[in-house]
Copies of this chain bind each other. A is one copy, B any other.
Amino acid sequence: MAGLLKQALQRIQAEVDSGFDALLPVPSDARARLTEAMRYAVIGGGKRIRPLLLTATAELHGVDREMAVRTSLALEAIHVYSLIHDDLPCMDDDDLRHGKPTVHKVFDDATAVLAGDALHAFAFEILGDPALTGDPFTRAELTLCLATASGLQGMAGGQMMDIVAETTAFDLPTVTKLQQLKTGALLGAAVEMGAILGRLPPEGRTHLRAYARDIGLAFQIADDLLDHEGDEAAAGKALRKDAAAGKQTFLSLLGPDRARSQARMLVDQAIAHLGQYGAEADLLRELARFIVERDR
């Protein structure tokens, strides 16, 4: 991993952990268990790719670091709530996440459902709060962006398609749409929210959106390859479940060689979309390369 990226990842990981730690104190009543489950899920795990994308995009446009990090906590809270619900026995039934037992294993299913729900609300508490920014227009725009990316038109819609994929043989365009919703929407929101903080008008976000779309697909193809070839210990979660379930993926539809070259092509294309930026966008470029080169 390139030095710039490595440093940036370490920095955002520390900032996200301490941000959640500060915003989620454990109350001294029966809600303690819920807060502990939320803290267990959000602190000390995950690569924090979405917060990095958001803060790197914000930095391109001179946004105050503290505001960008706080906004990225809302985004990461949505990502983590979706993982908690996704890991439930009635969903993917996973016991391991980021190398730790999943929330419902450590606590119980009911607490896991509630911890996900409470993190979901927590995200919008952050975005609605004047403590984030005194500009209500930015808060409202961030709210709409994140809610759209995580709901029926985004992540939750993609997860529904993913469930249907277990019993229906999807073709390549349908798998692409599924992945654009399931993973792409939230990665796109990371870049979009950074641009919103930077007060970039919608028409000025075209290149950034194209960058996000390309790395979103590349990310998923890389995930499919890692799922196929990776090591469970390094991944910190169960692998090869899609193939076992007979689910169509980029890998099953394209084969490993075409999948790999497609991912590389998407990364080159993503980097080309950053052409208008100079060295200040190097972090976004390194991140794009990392997405297909990572080992977990």
Count of interface residues, chain A, beta-carbon cutoff 8 Å = 65
A267 in contact (CB, < 8 A) = no
Query: CB-CB < 8 A to A139: which residues of B?
Result: 136, 139-140, 143
Query: Would A157 and B31 be within 8 Å (CB), given that A121-B150, A152-B122 are in contact?
Result: yes
Q: Within the complex, which residue of B136, B151, B164 is in contact with A122, where a contact is CB–CB below 8 Å?
A: B151
Asked, given contacts A91-B113, A122-B147, A136-B136, whether A161 binds B128 with beta carbons under 8 Å apart, the answer is no
Given A128-B141, A129-B144: A156 in contact with B91 (beta carbons within 8 A):
no
Interface of A is mostly: helix
Q: Is A11 an interface residue (CB 8 A)?
A: no
Q: Which residues in chain A, 119-153, are within 8 Å of chain B measured between CB atoms?
A: 120-125, 127-130, 136-137, 139-148, 150-152
Q: Please give, as numbers and ranges, the residues of chain B lying within 8 Å of A148 by CB-CB distance.
A: 121, 125, 128
Q: Which of B29, B113, B125 has a CB less than 8 Å from the CB of A161?
A: B29
Taking CB atoms, residues of chain B closer than 8 Å to A147 are 121-125, 127-128
